Amino acid sequence: MLKNKSAIVTGSTSGIGLGIARALAAQGANVMLNGFGDAGAIADLAASLRAEHGVAVAHSAADMARPEQIEAMVAEAAALFGAVDILVNNAGIQHTARVEDFPAERWEQIMAINLSSNFYATRAALPGMQRRGWGRIINIASVHGLVASANKAAYVAAKHGVIGLTKTVALENARGGVTCNAICPGWVLTPLVQRQIDDLAAREGLSPEAARARLLGEKQPSQEFATPEQIGALAVFLCSPGANQIRGAALNVDGGWAAQ
Ligand code: NAD
């Protein structure tokens, strides 16, 4: 379905971003991976995607906290593939603390990576999409873009901001073939969440299984994690003609979290 289309997926060396990159490559899209990690492991990942799906795959180590690196990444993908048709703004980090204890530098870092990077990448990729009359911008927000939790001030503020940005970009491009939407996952078992499970287990003296069950029990009515594959499947749908009129939406994949 996405043959001859090219995508950038930020933060795709791990977790949800990797699930989305795999799903887009499986549909025939060329993919620019982005994110940190062991160089050999990233090269192996790119090689396996190429071999499995016959698509072009590259990797940019651009830091999503640095606007000039974000712009260079978009330019590099456009030069390499001829276009950036699909932009998935996924890179994100977490830090938990009460507001009065929240370190200012962590606030700034979360704003830069989780929110401002979406703006800089979108601004760089949009003109090409508008010229070609087709584009998909998919922002990986969070259920925390819709509701809050204690101890996550920066993350919740940034993710609410992502949904606001999503709506604005969708409206500015409402006539034409460029759509912009947000996906709002609940708990997905990735390294970002595993760190929160480990912290909870250490803090409360729980086994890993008990900490995992506590985490789900507090928030996610299905009592099951969403998966990177499920988020990837929704991203693929948003790239399909069936999604042409889905614009400015924030779609939960949260086991019922935000329905409560
Ligand atoms: P993860 O920690 O598994 O992966 C994060 C990815 O982002 C990695 O590839 C990492 O290298 C990259 N990254 C981090 N900082 C970066 C930077 N400065 N520049 C470039 N890349 C950077 O996390 P994940 O759980 O897969 O989260 C991905 C996105 O999904 C995030 O935006 C997160 O907020 C969101 N999300 C996750 C969950 C969840 O339960 N896991 C729920 C809702 C939303």
Tell me, in angstroms, the distance from the centre of ligand 1 to residue 159's CA.
12
Q: What is the pLDDT of residue 147?
A: 98
Q: What is the pLDDT of residue 42?
A: 98
Q: Tell whether 94 and 204 lie within a shared domain.
A: no
Q: Tell whether 123 and 210 lie within a shared domain.
A: no
Q: Which of 64, 94, 114, 192 to mutate to test the pocket of ligand 1 (most atoms within 8 A of CB)?
A: 192
Report yes or no: 84 and 78 within 8 Å, Cβ to Cβ: yes
Which range of residues forms the domain containing residue 177? 6-188+227-259
Q: Tell whether 140 and 82 lie within a shared domain.
A: yes
**Percentage of residues in the chain having pLDDT higher than 90:** 99
Tell me, in angstroms, the distance from the centre of ligand 1 to residue 35's CA.
9
**Alpha-carbon distance 70 to 62, whole Å?**
6
CB under 6 Å to ligand 1: residues? 11-17, 34-37, 63-65, 90-93, 113-114, 140, 142, 185, 187-188, 190-193
- Ligand 1 atom closest to Cα of residue 64: 19
For the chain, residues with pLDDT lower than 50 are none
- Ligand 1 atom closest to Cα of residue 155: 34
Report yes or no: 88 and 179 within 8 Å, Cβ to Cβ: no
Q: Tell whether 221 and 205 lie within a shared domain.
A: yes
Q: Which of 93, 138, 219 to mutate to test the pocket of ligand 1 (most atoms within 8 A of CB)?
A: 93
In this structure, the number of other CB atoms found within 10 A of the CB of residue 66 comes to: 15
Q: Tell whether 176 and 207 lie within a shared domain.
A: no
- What is the token pair recorded at 78? 């456009």
Q: Tell whether 154 and 63 lie within a shared domain.
A: yes
Q: What is the pLDDT of residue 119?
A: 99
Residue 1 inside a domain? The answer is no
Q: What are the backbone angles phi and psi of residue 161, rounded to the nearest 5°? A: -60, -40
* Catalytically annotated residue among 155, 187, 225, 257: 155
Global confidence as pTM = 0.98
Q: Tell whether 139 and 254 lie within a shared domain.
A: yes
Q: Tell whether 122 and 194 lie within a shared domain.
A: no
Write the secondary structure of the chain as one string of H (helix), E (strand) and C (coil). CCCCCEEEECCCCCHHHHHHHHHHHHCCCEEEEECCCCHHHHHHHHHHHHHHHCCCEEEECCCCCCHHHHHHHHHHHHHHHCCCCEEEECCCCCCCECHHHCCHHHHHHHHHHHHHHHHHHHHHHHHHHHHHCCEEEEEECCHHHCCCCCCEHHHHHHHHHHHHHHHHHHHHCCCCCEEEEEEEECCECCHHHHHHHHHHHHHHCCCHHHHHHHHHHHHCCCCCCECHHHHHHHHHHHCCHHHCCCCCCEEEECCCHHHC
Q: What is the pLDDT of residue 219?
A: 96
CA atoms within a 13 Å half-sphere pointing along the CA-CB vector of 211:
17
- Residues 6+ away with beta carbon under 8 Å from 253: 183, 184, 185, 186, 226, 230, 231, 234
Tell me, in angstroms, the distance from the centre of ligand 1 to residue 210's CA.
24
Nearest CA, atom 31, ligand 1: 92
120 catalytic residue (yes or no): no
Exposure string over 23-60, b if 16+ CB within 10 A, otherwise e: bbbbbebbbbbbbeeeeeebeebbeebbeebebbbbbb
Amino acid (one-letter) located at 105: E
Report yes or no: 104 and 89 within 8 Å, Cβ to Cβ: no
* Number of domains within the chain: 2
Q: What is the pLDDT of residue 120?
A: 99
Tell me, in angstroms, the distance from the centre of ligand 1 to residue 90's CA.
6
Amino acid (one-letter) located at 26: A
Residue 144 inside a domain? The answer is yes
CATH number at residue 172: 3.40.50.720
Tell me, in angstroms, the distance from the centre of ligand 1 to residue 93's CA.
6
> What is the complex's ipTM, to 2 decimals?
0.99
